[in-house]
Amino acid sequence: MEERRKMIEMTGIVKKYFIDTPNELAALNGVDLTVHEGEFLAVVGASGSGKSTLMNIIGTLDRPTEGHYTLDGVDTNAAKDSELSSIRNQKVGFVFQTYNLIARTSALMNVELPMLYGGMSRKERNERAEELLRMVGMEERMKHRPEELSGGQKQRVAIARAMGNDPSIILADEPTGALDSSTGRMVMDLFHQLHDEKGKTIILITHSPELAEETERIITLKDGAVISEREGSGHAVV
Amino acid sequence: MLLYENIRLAFSSLRANKMRAFLTMLGIIIGISSVIAIMTVGESIESSVTDTMGSLGATNITVSLQEKEDEEEGESVEMGMQFEGPGRMRTPTEDDYFTDAMLHDYCENYPDTIEAISVQESLSSGQLLVDKLYANVSPSGVSDGFFLANDLELIDGRYFSDHEIENHSMAAIISDKAVNNLFQGDTDAAIGSTISLVSGDQYLTVTVVGVYEYEQSIYSFGNTSEKDLSTDLYLPLPTARDLNHTTGESSFTVVTAAVTDVDSFISSTEQFFNTYYRNNRNFEVYAFSMSSMLDSLTSMMGTITTGIALIAGIALLVGGIGVMNIMLVSITERTREIGTRKAIGAPNSAIRMQFLVEAMVICLIGGIIGVILGTVLGLVAAKVLDMPATPSISSILISLGFSMAVGIFFGYYPANKAAKMDPIDALRYE
Ligand SMILES: Nc1ncnc2c1ncn2[C@@H]1O[C@H](COP(=O)(O)OP(=O)(O)OP(=O)(O)O)[C@@H](O)[C@H]1O
Ligand SMILES: [Mg+2]
């Protein structure tokens, strides 16, 4: 395990809001985190503990107030906004609790979107999007719009979209939070598949202890700091 | 690369808010359609007026009598007290008319410049009668030069003979329309026939010697039926003068040789005739050409066009502000979508382009609807005015280009605002 490439390397990450005001708030308070390539990691903790804030910084949607962060060898502190958007496009795939599919746009087009922004040719991205939708079992619903899909179906499309440019890391913020347990199970199985078969690095935020147990490593946040770290089973308990 | 997708996206977002999109376009539709409508009618008027004037001959000079302005102030005041001051219109009398002697001298003086002189003496309008059939006519006596000046060609028969002119005979040239009404179109039957002419209260008998082809002019508005259409009937000039008991005319037209400098010939003409009128208390001679009138007409059209452009500009400004407003609303509504796109890795330029294209599409659709509406309105108006309609391609293209420009100008601020949104703030937006 020690030989594996470091995907994420964070030291002393601090994120503060309302800086220099009486109600200054530190959502993250000096987080050190290293994640290797191909790891499946769960982040747990109470509401407001800073999980989403950490996730957004990992995904380069947000910049830390203090600390140093290197993603897949790229020093994000030094990167310009335009470079960050291309990092998000090529290296990161987001899966949100609320799916965040683009309305009035077919499932296929939603999956094509990251490839479109990445400059892939029309034919290539079309073929690839169809293949990804087949992988998540949504080939029957390619032409459907988000309004016409169930929650679980939407989340499967969202996962296919996250895989658009074959990113090295997938960030999922409570992806099963809005789903019933059996649909959630299906989504979780998809993550296992991406991890086991494609060797993706996956970071999963969840409130469910059972789902967290299925990952390889579980990090617990409290008040913006990592308070414990332990190993999980690494596979689904059937 | 993204253009096609952006256009598709713009259409789908407009489809989702059809009513809103339409109301937004309204300002642009009104602005563009009014310009196009007025341009269409304007060009119709202009082209038909130019046609008519062209057929009258731009190098023709019209010479007429004009009331003298009083030269001596004192006399003017004195006359004012006698209620004969300036502003009272005088009509030329027999003594003031151009005489044949003057015209003869004039032609002798400029033999190379003058091609023909056209004189017309109008008679009261009336009817030609053959048994129970009739044809409305406007009779007038004309000199030989008239046919040249007006490009009038006979389709059958001949012009007046010298003999007919000298003898003040009742020879007539009538239109093909009159032949249709009186002789069922049989010109052979018409020529040589002697028919009755009622002109005002005079009952005359004329012999048809020639038939010319009637041309519709813009002055013949309305929908008079073929049967009641009034066409010109020409008699030899001396004949008409006899009937009107007159010996001269207050105006005439000169056909000049093609190489003549019309403007300088106009002043020579005025000078020449004013030697005769130096001692005339009331009248002097004024000459002008169709080309000088055409110039002033063109500049008048230019002024009208500028005025319309101004009004259209205001309508488009208001329309553009409407587009900007709706784009700001749309961006706020779609904040989470913008955040999502940024999370997926859309660069700011792509977001900016997306909303810019949407604003342009709104404006362009508005512009296209406006062009169609305006063209239809313009064609209908031209039809009502009975004019040849010419939808102006250049003004259509300019209008479409302009509506696109409005889209870019008023769409840029909202699009840029969307592009600059912070991804996290946009994603967290409730
Ligand atoms: N944009 C912001 N402005 C101000 N405070 C913020 C902002 N974003 C997050 N916070 C604060 O930072 C803290 C951490 O928020 P965060 O969303 O990371 O929590 P979380 O662990 O994801 O909670 P949950 O499990 O409920 O999603 C919270 O106290 C929150 O109020
Ligand atoms: Mg959260």
**Residue appearing with tokens 């949104």:** B421
For B120, half-sphere exposure in the C-beta direction (CA atoms, 13 angstrom radius) is 18
Average pLDDT over residues A65-86: 94
Is pLDDT at B293 greater than 60 in this prediction?
yes
| pLDDT tier at B220, thresholds 50, 70, 90 | low
Alpha carbons A117 and A169: distance in angstroms, whole number: 18
Is pLDDT at B33 greater than 80 in this prediction?
yes
pLDDT score, position B298:
77
pLDDT score, position B224:
64
pLDDT score, position A59:
96
| pLDDT tier at B81, thresholds 50, 70, 90 | very low
Domains of chain A: 38-60+84-231 (3.40.50.300)
Contact A236, A190 (CB under 8 A): no
Is pLDDT at B74 greater than 60 in this prediction?
no
Ligand 1, residue A55: give the atom nearest the CA: 18
pLDDT, tens only, B249-261: 888 888 887 766 7
Residue to substitute in A14, A21, A25, A58 for testing ligand 1 pocket (most ligand atoms within 8 angstroms of CB): A25
Is pLDDT at A117 greater than 90 in this prediction?
yes
Name, in order, each residue with C-beta under 8 angstroms of A37's C-beta and a sequence gap of 6 or more. Answer: A4, A5, A6, A7, A168, A199, A201
pLDDT, tens only, B318-353: 999 999 999 999 999 999 999 999 999 999 999 999
Higher pLDDT, B217 or A2: B217
**C-alpha distances in Å from residue A27, one per residue of A13, A31, A94, A218, A223:** 10, 10, 21, 20, 7
> Closest Cα partner for A48 from A208, A205, A228?
A205
pLDDT score, position B379:
86
Q: Whose CA is nearest to atom 7 of ligand 1?
A: A17
Q: Domain ranges in chain B?
A: 2-52+297-428, 97-290
Alpha carbons B263 and B288: distance in angstroms, whole number: 8
Q: Whose CA is nearest to atom 18 of ligand 1?
A: A50
Contacts 24+ apart (CB under 8 A), B276-282: B276/B102, B280/B68, B280/B96, B281/B68, B282/B67, B282/B68, B282/B90, B282/B92, B282/B96
Average pLDDT over residues B240-253: 87
Average pLDDT, chain B: 84
Nearest CA in chain A to B336: A100
Is pLDDT at B76 greater than 50 in this prediction?
no
Q: Percentage of chain A surpassing pLDDT 90?
A: 92
pLDDT, tens only, B221-241: 555 677 788 889 999 999 999
**Segment of B85-99, B126-140, B277-291 carrying the highest mean pLDDT:** B126-140
Q: Whose CA is nearest to atom 3 of ligand 1?
A: A17
pLDDT, tens only, B380-415: 888 887 777 777 788 889 889 989 999 999 999 999
pLDDT, tens only, B143-162: 988 888 888 888 899 999 99
Strand residues in B188-282 grouped as ranges (E): 194-199, 202-212, 231-236, 251-256
pLDDT score, position B77:
42
Lowest mean pLDDT among A60-74, B253-267, B349-363: B253-267
Average pLDDT over residues B346-370: 94
pLDDT score, position A238:
63
pLDDT score, position B254:
87
Higher pLDDT, A227 or B289: A227
Ligand 1, residue A46: give the atom nearest the CA: 25
Name, in order, each residue with C-beta under 8 angstroms of A218's C-beta and a sequence gap of 6 or more. Answer: A41, A42, A44, A212, A229, A230, A231, A232
**Residue appearing with tokens 């239109």:** B175
Higher pLDDT, B292 or B196: B196
Average pLDDT, chain A: 94
Q: CB B31: neighbour CB atoms within 10 A? A: 28
Average pLDDT over residues A65-83: 94
| pLDDT tier at B29, thresholds 50, 70, 90 | very high
Alpha carbons B127 and B105: distance in angstroms, whole number: 37
Alpha carbons B377 and B380: distance in angstroms, whole number: 5
Residues in A touching B12 (Cβ below 8 Å): 104-105
What ipTM, to 2 d.p.?
A: 0.95
- A120 — contact with chain B (CB < 8 Å)? no
| pLDDT tier at B82, thresholds 50, 70, 90 | very low
pLDDT score, position B217:
60
pLDDT score, position B83:
45
Q: Count of H helices and E strands in chain A? A: 7, 10
Alpha carbons B270 and B284: distance in angstroms, whole number: 9
Asked whether the beta carbons of residue A117 and residue B350 sit closer than 8 angstroms, the reply is yes
CB of A52 within 6 A of ligand 1: the answer is: yes
| pLDDT tier at B78, thresholds 50, 70, 90 | very low
Classify residue A63 by its DSSP letter.
Answer: -
Q: Is B315 exposed, middle or buried (0-12, 13-18, 19+ CB in 10 A)?
A: buried
Alpha carbons A165 and A150: distance in angstroms, whole number: 25
Lowest mean pLDDT among B66-70, B133-137, B188-192, B207-211: B66-70
Under 8 Å CB pairs connecting chains A and B tally to 66
pLDDT score, position B331:
95
pLDDT, tens only, A124-150: 999 999 999 999 999 999 999 999 999
What pTM does this model have?
Answer: 0.71
User: CB-CB: which of A82, A94, A165 is closest to B347?
Assistant: A82
pLDDT score, position B196:
92
Tell me, letter by letter, the H, E, C secondary structure of B136-186.
Answer: EEEEEEECHHHHHHCCCCEEEECCCCHHHHHCCCCEEEEEHHHHHHHHCCC
**Which helix (H) or strand (E) element contains residue A117?**
helix A107-117
Q: CB A216: neighbour CB atoms within 10 A? A: 18
Residues in A touching B9 (Cβ below 8 Å): 105
Is pLDDT at B105 greater than 80 in this prediction?
yes
**Residue appearing with tokens 């001679």:** B285
